[in-house]
Amino acid sequence: MQQKGARGAERKYDLLTLDQIKAMPIEQIATEDAHLWLWVTNATLRDGYDVAEAWGFTVRSPLTWVKWPRIGLGNYLRNNTEHLLFATRGKAPVKYRSQPTWFTAPTTDHSHKPEAQFSTIELVSGAGPKLELFARRRPPQTPDSPWSAWGNEIDSDISIPDYPVPSDFDDQTERS
């Protein structure tokens, strides 16, 4: 889900192409009965549905983050929302069905998602292990819902075949 241009995400960090993201072996990493929560921007909303499907999930609903206090940029309309697509596969139970489809939270630095996402995910998806992909910081830990993380800006807890991140190489150096 590339975001190029003078104001795009590629100026801030390395990006994968949409095809590279869709080819990730998430279908093999996730349990048979699982939830997927996938962040997308307005410009990549359709791509998010394609990614979820490529990974073996069905999108059930978007959860929209209304950002404040500032309004974002945009080519056509001023974007002040992002969406967290809620998708499922198998029979993973939904533990809380009263979650509204939107929430407000302040913006911080570029691409920093609101901390409220973690409590919402735990409320809807329930206890059990969770994995944050493309993490730029460590998710908060709770006793009932331990979080693992993978990304190129943190020490990753897992390795994904054909998708190396710096901590994959750090581990090899430490073992030598």
128-166 pLDDT, tens digit per residue, is 899 999 999 999 988 888 999 999 999 999 999 999 999
pLDDT score of 175 more than 50: no
The pLDDT value recorded for residue 2 is 44
> How confident is the model over 19-75, as pLDDT tens digits?
999 999 999 999 999 999 999 999 999 999 999 999 999 999 999 999 988 888 888
Task: Catalogue all structural domains in the chain, each as residue range(s) with its CATH number.
Answer: 9-131 (3.40.50.150)
Instruction: Inform me whether the pLDDT recorded for 124 exceeds 70.
Output: yes
Q: In the prediction, which pLDDT does 176 show?
A: 43
| 105 vs 103: CA distance, rounded Å | 7
Neighbours of 140 (CB within 10 A): 11
- Answer positive or negative: Cα dihedral of 143, 24, 40, 32: negative
Span 85-95, pLDDT tens digits: 999 999 999 99
Q: Cβ(49)–Cβ(37) under 8 Å?
A: no
Rounded to the nearest integer, the mean pLDDT of the chain is 90
Q: Which helix (H) or strand (E) is 28 found in, with range?
A: helix 26-29
pTM of the model: 0.87
Per-residue pLDDT at 111 exceeds 50: yes
